[in-house]
Chain A
């Protein structure tokens, strides 16, 4: 396969950046998208040029490091992560526009790499349980209905990749934050700090400069872990309730 790539190149956070066109001539359909970029980078380095910087780690769809907006779609045209997107999903001769996540809260560091530490700060603001629970309790000492446990696990699947922010028309982080708020808020251990948690995390989310939700669910459609926008409704409810009930 031969592809034309229009890749976002940016030297540093203060550089304004630009698209640069490259030809990828030796693409095998079974390569992952990142392997394709590895090959392009090999060619670039052989020509003495700077390779394209992009984020990656596990390359098996579980760490949330990889990003990339491909032809306007976060993580490319298929549902999974970019590392789990394969070149067979594209056609020979196609032109691909490859960009970083674009959000004020995710400043581009270099080329396709952006700084997602805003998510870490949101988690630090309240995405934890601080009660000292001592040793592990007996298996059945703390009954949790199966549906609740399942739902908490669904929320906990979020890998913090940021595709929801990238896909949202307003660069809103509501899906990520709602997943983090909900996986703790659903479980008994998360109850004591439930109202304080949602207030602190939403407040940090707003401080980071993410947009507001316009209820369009592009986040849900782009999320590689299929996090449901039901969690956003849940968080809205929790937050509004917390706003009138917390005594702190």
Chain B
């Protein structure tokens, strides 16, 4: 027997990496949200933060982070499909009656919410990173701020003043919230930690992290739509 975790032939090994990548993605989402909340501290704070991200490690680190994220997402999604395939094969004839006892809707639709998150991600990158969705309102095009930094603040505010764009972001956050209401606690089990009192953390952690992320991220488009941030 080899001494490595057999991937992807082992279901437990797959789930372990699903849990690790999910956990890393939660870390990213929390960090991303915290950074973005700087918008409430005014243009200087968030533009400065944007500049920092672009220039850290002489502009190398942002690419390290981007490549890392792509790798994590790729592993997470590839395993999601591999596991889904294995699980579908395990029950070729479905039941004639549904008798779900307690599994939440979110836990039964992780693939659906995951795919919505992915589609949103493509849109989000095309929108704010590449500037393909709304080219006239992209950081590279609009006037720089007084410190000669990209005016991310104006880009975000003008973007979210469009109800359709804001609505899309809010819907995507709801999908992410559902995904995390199961996922943000589930990794404890995949990593083999959910025994005794630790298992009692699964639900509060799932709903807690999901709630923080949905409220935190939605607060930005909502505040802009309501004219609190302009």
- Contacts from A to B (Cβ < 8 Å): 6, 8, 17, 19, 69, 71-74, 97, 99, 102-105, 167, 169-172, 199, 202-203, 205-206, 209-218, 221-222, 229-230, 232-240, 243-248
Inter-chain CA distance A216–B185, complex, in Å, is 11
B99 CB contact (under 8 Å) in A8, A69, A171? A69
Contact A8 B96 (CB under 8 A): yes
Q: Which residues of A contact B1 (CB under 8 A)?
A: 199, 246, 248
Assembled-state Cα–Cα distance A238/B12 (Å): 11
Offer 21 A-B interface pairs, CB within 8 angstroms, sorted by A.
A72-B100, A74-B99, A103-B91, A104-B91, A167-B99, A170-B91, A210-B11, A212-B86, A212-B87, A215-B182, A218-B100, A218-B103, A221-B102, A230-B194, A230-B199, A234-B195, A236-B191, A236-B192, A237-B192, A239-B192, A244-B4
A interface footprint on B93-107 (CB within 8 Å = 1, 0 otherwise): 111111111111001
A233 to B193, Cβ gap below 8 A? Answer: yes
**Nearest 3 pairs of A and B residues by beta carbon:** A72-B99, A237-B192, A211-B90
Give, as a whole number of angstroms, the nearest-CB distance from B87 to chain A: 4
Chain A hits for B4, CB < 8 A: 243-244
With A104-B92, A169-B87, A212-B87 already in contact, the answer to whether A239 and B12 are too (CB < 8 A) is yes
Closest residue of chain B to A105, judged by CB?
B90
**Nearest chain-A residue to B11 (Cβ)?**
A212
Collect the chain B residues with CB atoms within 8 Å of residue A234's CB: 192, 195
Number of interface residues of B (CB under 8 A): 48
Q: Is B189 within 8 A of A170, CB to CB?
A: no
Q: Residue on A with the closest CB to B199?
A: A230
Residue B5, interface by CB 8 Å: yes
Contact with A along B200-225 (1 / 0, CB 8 A): 00000000000000000000000000
Which of B13-21, B136-144, B152-160, B165-173 has 4 or more CB atoms under 8 Å from chain A? B13-21
Is B10's CB within 8 Å of the partner chain A? yes
CB-CB under 8 A for A233 and B90, given A102-B95, A214-B110, A243-B3: no
Nearest-Cβ distance from residue A104 to partner chain B, whole angstroms: 5
Interface residues of chain B, those whose CB is within 8 Å of chain A, are 1, 3-6, 9-16, 83, 86-87, 89-104, 107-108, 110, 182, 186, 188-196, 198-199
- Whether the Cβ atoms of B107 and A172 lie closer than 8 Å is no
| Pick from B12, B86, B87, B107: contact of A236, CB under 8 Å | B12
Docked-complex contact B83 and A206, CB < 8 angstroms: no
Q: Which residue of chain B has its CB nearest to the CB of A165?
A: B90
* Distance A222 CA – B102 CA, assembled complex (angstroms): 10
B1 to A, closest residue via Cβ? A248
Q: Establish whether residues A247 and B3, one from each chain, have CB atoms under 8 Å apart when the complex forms.
A: yes
Residues of chain A within 8 A of B107, CB atoms compared: 214-216
Set of chain B residues within 8 Å of A222, measured between Cβ atoms: 101
Could you say which residues of chain A place their CB within 8 Å of the CB of B15? Answer: 212-213, 236
- Residues from chain B with a CB closer than 8 A to the CB of A216 are 103-104, 107-108
A104→B90 contact, CB < 8 A: yes
Contacts A213-B11, A240-B5; is A230 near B87 (CB within 8 Å)?
no
